[in-house]
């Protein structure tokens, strides 16, 4: 039996006729999984947070879109014919809201035999516009639900607030594990492989940043790590996510449909100040990069002095602030170029042969002019994958790539 949450107070029947029993606090209702996979490369599945498949919702989908960004939460958008969904949930004796269970149930996306991503249902929008009845559904990656969790003053120094000579990945998992150990705090996230990176020390303030922002902030350290959540809520940490896929080819002309190369000098920062906790005369610590104000770097000589001050109120030790300043300098000391490549998803290599973090070679015909010459012949790292799948299963895939 698969499981869905029922938000009503009435007793329901399963499709096999069994009466549901639930305690004073309404428990998830159970139904046999429904739906059959359409002739598509993609399968969309609805799951309970406890790991039970509720239904294959693929046959009911009208539009599909999802976005995956390195070290950020995934976004999944789906649309349905509301009439079809009403018929489905009526056959199960429930409602649209109860079936999808926003804030509770989950969706997993599979392409072929590979699960790509998963997320928790976060938003429903049923709508009527004349004769048109539609239902939009959004899910967010499991990182996003950690925005509602914080460190407490009682967490102490063993696993929560302060770390000394601890591997970066272990710090990240410890924080997730700690917040899930609280009463009613277990989201069902489990530990995947934690690759060894480097030993660091740091201190966080209670009630400062939420756990989501702490994890993202750690990836902004100099020489830091990458992390990801699997579709079944395993948490993985990589010394560097992805592989060098030199055997693949992305080419214009070829499988590249369109190409943009924005070059942005609006965020130049070649002297970075990282301020720790405290304000005004109580300011505890300021670290800079370059470490000496008298240092003259090539970027400063070319673009003149471009200063930025970043505040980190959760930190009051030198090394984490220096790491953040150094990483900011690495990214923004010179104008940034973030190529945006739109691929024909129906031509090889297909999605799944490449993924977030992979380095892939790009070939641009010289006849395209000098504006794109810097892209040609180099390997670029995939930092974002944006996928739209139409009703005919045609994929449009947009990649954002970078050197790092």
pLDDT for the residue numbered 47: 98
| Percent of the chain topping pLDDT 90 | 69
Lowest-confidence pick of 11-15, 192-196, 217-221, 268-272: 11-15
Q: What does the pLDDT average to over 51-60?
A: 95
Domain ranges of the chain: 2-140, 146-238, 250-262+338-402, 271-332
3-state secondary structure of 216: helix
pLDDT for the residue numbered 40: 87
* CA pair distance 42, 55, nearest whole angstrom: 14
Q: Are 298 and 378 in contact (CB under 8 A)?
A: no
**pTM for this predicted structure:** 0.84
Computed over its alpha carbons, how large is the radius of gyration of the chain?
A: 24
Confidence of residue 154 (pLDDT cuts 50, 70, 90): confident
pLDDT for the residue numbered 284: 64
CATH class label, 146-238: alpha beta
* CA pair distance 329, 306, nearest whole angstrom: 10
Cis peptide leading into residue 117 (ω within 30°):
no
pLDDT for the residue numbered 34: 47
Lowest-confidence pick of 22-26, 30-34, 143-147, 337-341: 22-26
178 CB neighbour count, 10 Å cutoff? 19
pLDDT for the residue numbered 141: 98
Buried b / exposed e along 314-346 (16+ C-beta atoms within 10 A): bbbbeebbbbbbbbbbeebbbebebbebebebe
Q: What does the pLDDT average to over 262-279?
A: 88
- The string of pLDDT tens digits covering residues 295-334 is 999 999 999 999 999 988 777 778 888 888 998 999 899 9
- The string of pLDDT tens digits covering residues 246-259 is 999 999 999 999 99
Q: Assign residue 292 a region (left: φ > 0; alpha: ψ between -120 and 50; beta: otherwise).
A: beta
Task: State yes or no: pLDDT of 71 exceeds 80.
Answer: yes
3-state secondary structure of 383: strand
pLDDT for the residue numbered 53: 96
CATH code linked to domain 2-140: 2.30.300
pLDDT for the residue numbered 33: 46
Lowest-confidence pick of 30-44, 63-77, 327-341: 30-44
- The string of pLDDT tens digits covering residues 195-253 is 999 998 888 888 888 999 999 999 988 889 999 999 999 999 999 999 999 999 999 99
* CA pair distance 253, 25, nearest whole angstrom: 60
What six digits make up the tokens of 381? 């790292």
């Amino acid at each position: 039996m698969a499981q869905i949450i029922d938000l009503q107070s009435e007793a329901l029947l399963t499709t096999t006729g069994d009466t549901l029993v639930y305690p004073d606090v309404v428990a998830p209702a159970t139904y046999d999984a429904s739906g059959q996979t359409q002739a598509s490369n993609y399968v969309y599945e609805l799951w309970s947070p406890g790991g039970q498949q509720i239904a294959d919702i693929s046959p009911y989908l009208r539009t599909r879109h999802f976005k995956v960004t390195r070290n950020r939460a995934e976004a999944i958008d789906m649309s349905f014919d509301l009439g079809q969904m009403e018929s489905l949930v009526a056959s199960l004796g429930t409602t649209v809201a109860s079936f999808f269970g926003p804030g509770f149930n989950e969706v997993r996306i599979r392409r072929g035999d590979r699960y790509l991503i998963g997320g928790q249902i976060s938003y429903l929008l049923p709508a009527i516009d004349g004769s048109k009845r539609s239902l939009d559904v959004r899910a967010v990656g499991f990182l996003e639900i950690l925005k509602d969790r914080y460190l407490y003053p009682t967490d102490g120094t063993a696993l929560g607030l302060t770390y000394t000579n601890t591997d970066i990945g272990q710090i990240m998992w410890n924080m997730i594990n700690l917040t899930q150990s609280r009463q009613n705090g277990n989201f069902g996230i489990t530990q995947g492989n934690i690759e060894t990176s480097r030993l660091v020390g740091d201190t966080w303030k209670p009630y400062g940043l939420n756990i989501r922002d702490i994890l993202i902030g750690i990836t902004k350290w100099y020489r830091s790590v990458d992390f990801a959540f699997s579709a079944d809520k395993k948490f993985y940490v990589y010394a560097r996510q992805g592989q060098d896929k030199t055997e693949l080819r992305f080419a214009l002309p070829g499988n590249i449909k369109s190409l943009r190369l924005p070059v942005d000098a609006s965020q130049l920062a070649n002297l970075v100040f990282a301020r720790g906790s405290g304000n005004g005369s109580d300011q505890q610590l300021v670290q800079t990069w370059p470490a000496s104000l008298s240092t003259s770097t090539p970027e400063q000589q070319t673009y003149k002095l471009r200063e930025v001050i970043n505040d980190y109120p959760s930190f009051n030790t030198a090394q984490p602030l220096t790491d953040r300043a150094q990483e900011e300098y690495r990214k923004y000391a010179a104008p940034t170029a973030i190529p945006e490549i739109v691929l024909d998803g129906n031509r090889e290599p297909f999605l799944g042969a490449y993924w977030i973090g992979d380095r892939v070679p790009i070939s641009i015909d010289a006849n395209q002019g000098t504006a794109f010459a810097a892209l040609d012949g180099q390997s670029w790292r995939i930092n974002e994958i944006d996928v739209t799948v139409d009703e005919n299963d045609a994929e449009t895939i947009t990649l954002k790539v970078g050197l790092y």
